[in-house]
């Protein structure tokens, strides 16, 4: 059993991670801005601000894993939140020194390669708000890649992620966008949560980004 804190536990992905980890018997704490509005599956709930390194250190203390599933809503919201949150998370964990938990952050698919040197965000015709979201996650990933003193992992979804059933089946890769047997790059939110909790239980990607896709 791992002691896990999930920042952004009220969101679509965060709530799925809480549900998956709780169902497997882990001790999960939901970290949200307004605990009174939390209606999820976590055993405990705490108020927390991902942009405050002292708050990050407080909620991370005594945990084995800190999951960041924060999102900024629209494009400008992501630009204002995702990369600053990455810096705050690292600063907060650094304050805990050798007792800091491992960090797993939910990333984006925009920086995955569709061909050598070509990324998803290079696709012609993408709307500006979507590009802002993609580049916000890309900037956070670039920052994480400068960090060597905190155990971090970024998990990027397939190009399409949304509601659906939990099959427990998926495949993983590193820098290339993955597709399923039908040629689509997609994964359900529940299966994305399965991949993330599998990484908690069997660490294989410390200090790197990986991605997952339906079979």
Q: Give pLDDT tens digits for 83-132.
A: 999 999 999 999 999 999 999 999 999 999 999 999 999 999 999 999 99
In contact, 61 and 93? CB cutoff 8 Å: no
Domain that holds residue 110: 3-214
DSSP three-state, residue 177: coil
Spatial CB neighbours of 78, under 8 Å, sequence gap ≥ 6: 71, 72, 132, 133, 136, 137
Give the count of domains, the chain.
1
Q: Output 19 or 41, whichever has higher pLDDT.
A: 19
CATH (domain of 189) = 3.40.50.720
Q: What is the pTM of this model?
A: 0.95
Residues 106, 154: Cα–Cα separation, whole Å: 6
């Amino acid at each position: 059993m791992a002691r896990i804190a999930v920042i952004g536990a009220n969101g679509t992905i965060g709530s799925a991670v809480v549900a998956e980890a709780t169902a497997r018997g882990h001790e999960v704490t939901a970290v949200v801005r307004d605990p009174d509005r939390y209606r999820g599956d976590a055993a405990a709930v705490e108020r927390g601000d991902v942009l405050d390194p002292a708050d990050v250190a407080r909620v991370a203390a005594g945990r084995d894993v800190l999951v960041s599933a924060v999102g900024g809503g629209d494009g400008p919201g992501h630009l204002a939140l995702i990369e600053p949150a990455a810096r705050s998370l690292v600063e907060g964990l650094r304050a805990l020194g050798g007792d800091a938990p491992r960090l797993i952050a939910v990333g984006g698919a925009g920086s995955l390669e569709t061909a050598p040197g070509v990324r998803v965000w290079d696709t012609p015709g993408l709307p500006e708000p979507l590009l802002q979201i993609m580049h916000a996650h890309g900037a956070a990933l670039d920052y994480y890649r400068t960090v060597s003193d905190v155990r971090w992992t970024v998990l990027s979804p397939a190009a399409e992620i949304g509601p659906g059933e939990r099959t427990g089946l998926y495949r993983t890769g590193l820098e290339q966008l993955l597709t399923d047997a039908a040629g689509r790059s997609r994964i359900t939110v529940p299966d994305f949560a399965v991949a993330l909790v599998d990484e908690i239980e069997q660490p294989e990607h410390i200090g790197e980004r990986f991605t997952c896709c339906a079979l």
